[in-house]
């Protein structure tokens, strides 16, 4: 097998290691700052989207499409952003996602003002582009990582989202008051705030992500230094590489299942609490517990993935998701403590799936194929997540939140057994 271009690039910079290390530290700092800003916007919108759709449409079943719309938006932007990153660098791909998200927020504000739930769902699709950007940022952290450090570096960027994502749901109520004071309406305020935070994330990326880490890893100059050189790698070729690599296949399955389980339960939890007459403050507390679980332990997850291997960490995460689904199924709307514990475990299980799975995928695929393979991963996880939220809305509308928990438990149990019985080997990094 020929030596991947990423390894060649690193070898060419052997005498310039301190500069590469300094550039990687700067890259991680810039990506982390963008994650904080983007995380505020995503979490603020996620806290209220299903409730606003339910109120405007008058239907619980339709409210499930709010989560579906945002996840669908992330899926639709995953491939274009990855392809743009492959041609022009990570900076261009991230700018596309955050720019589309700003447009989505403005459409949401307009849709709420005219009380149009179909237009609101359209805005939420574009709003979901920010999630695609936040997800792509984690992969950007691995371009200059030394072999065996992808999990740790990736997890630091994921962890940075803790600040924004925990603060976001609790800013929904103040943003609503601000929106009402400005004449936008209380329901539109959080989306106006999200537009500002996504714009800030775009500015941080454009101004700070220079030189571009992917272009440096390839050994090509970035924009302003001669222009990038696009690798001749097709999306179909990257899919073939993933399909033929056992470790990459396991990573894709684990990421997709973890994300589907998480968004299915999380998207319907605000509706479940609302049925118990819980206010926005209680919903914010429960979602903050969930989002804390998603991000706060990610550095530990990344360290474990690098130290003991990604497969054991993925199995641990799926078992946490299984327990979380059981707790959610048994919790009544007024049992805030049990719901908070279940949603916290749901978040930590998702963190194991995302961090360990993403690190395994990045180390299993050669650098030139990596952006497309990573885009395929994000497309798959978000399509599965969108399907899960549709099913979750229908299950809760026709059955109950408890039935949703049981369905998610069954979904998680099968791949947990498959991964646990599979070979726990690690594929050599593709640098």
Please, what are the domains in the chain? Answer: 5-421 (1.20.1250.20)
Q: What is the pLDDT of residue 233?
A: 55
Contact yes or no for 215/228 (Cβ under 8 A): yes
Tell me: the pLDDT tens digits for 104-137? Answer: 999 999 999 899 999 999 999 999 999 999 889 8
Q: What is the pLDDT of residue 349?
A: 92
Q: What is the pLDDT of residue 200?
A: 96
Tell me: the pLDDT tens digits for 149-171? Answer: 889 999 999 888 777 776 776 77
Q: Name the residue with tokens 């475990």.
A: 345
Q: What is the pLDDT of residue 10?
A: 42
| Verdict on whether the full-model pTM lies above 0.85 | no
Q: What is the pLDDT of residue 279?
A: 62
Closest CA to 104 of 197, 206, 185: 197
Low pLDDT (below 70) residues in the chain: 1-18, 64, 166, 169, 220-235, 237-238, 275-281, 332-333, 422-431
User: Which DSSP string corresponds to 118-183?
Assistant: HHHHHHHHHHTHHHHHHHHHHHHTTTTPPTT-HHHHHHHHHHHHHHHHHHHHHHHHHHHHHHHHTT
Q: What is the pLDDT of residue 422?
A: 66
């Amino acid at each position: 097998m020929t030596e991947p271009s990423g390894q060649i690039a690193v070898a060419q910079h052997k005498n310039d290691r301190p500069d590469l290390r300094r550039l990687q530290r700067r890259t991680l700092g810039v990506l982390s700052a963008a994650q904080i800003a983007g995380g505020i916007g995503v979490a603020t919108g996620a806290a209220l989207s299903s409730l606003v759709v339910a109120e405007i449409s008058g239907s619980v079943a339709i409210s499930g499409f709010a989560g579906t719309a945002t996840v669908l938006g992330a899926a639709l932007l995953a491939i274009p952003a990855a392809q743009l990153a492959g041609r022009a660098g990570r900076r261009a791909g991230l700018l596309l996602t955050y720019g589309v998200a700003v447009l989505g927020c403005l459409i949401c504000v307009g849709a709420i003002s005219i009380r149009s739930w179909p237009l609101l769902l359209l805005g939420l699709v574009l709003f979901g582009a920010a999630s695609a950007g936040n997800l792509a940022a984690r992969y950007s952290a691995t371009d200059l990582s030394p072999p065996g450090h992808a999990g740790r570096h990736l997890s630091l960027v994921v962890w940075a989202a803790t600040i924004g994502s925990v603060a976001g749901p609790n800013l929904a109520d103040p943003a609503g008051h601000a929106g009402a004071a400005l004449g936008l309406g209380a329901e539109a305020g959080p989306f106006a705030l999200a537009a500002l935070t996504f714009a800030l994330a775009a500015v941080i990326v454009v101004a700070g992500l220079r030189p571009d880490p992917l272009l440096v890893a390839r050994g090509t100059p970035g924009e302003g230094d001669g222009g990038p050189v696009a690798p001749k790698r097709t999306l179909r070729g990257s899919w073939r590489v993933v399909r033929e690599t056992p470790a990459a296949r396991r990573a894709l399955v684990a990421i997709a299942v973890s994300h589907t389980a998480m968004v299915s339960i999380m998207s319907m939890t605000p509706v479940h609490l609302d049925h118990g007459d819980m206010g926005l403050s209680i919903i914010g507390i429960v979602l903050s517990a969930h989002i804390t679980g998603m991000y706060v332990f990610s550095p530990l997850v990344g360290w474990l993935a690098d130290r003991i291997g990604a497969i054991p960490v993925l199995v641990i995460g799926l078992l946490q998701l299984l327990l979380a689904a059981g707790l959610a199924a048994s919790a009544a709307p007024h049992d805030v403590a049990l719901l908070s514990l279940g949603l916290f475990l749901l978040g930590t299980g998702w963190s194991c799936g995302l961090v360990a799975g993403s690190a395994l995928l990045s180390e299993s695929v050669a650098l030139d194929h990596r952006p497309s393979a990573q885009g395929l991963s994000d497309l798959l996880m978000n399509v599965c997540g969108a399907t899960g939220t549709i099913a979750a809305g229908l299950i809760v509308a026709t059955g109950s939140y408890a039935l949703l928990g049981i369905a998610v438990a069954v979904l998680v149990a099968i791949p947990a057994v498959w991964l646990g019985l599979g070979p726990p080997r690690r594929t050599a990094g593709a640098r």
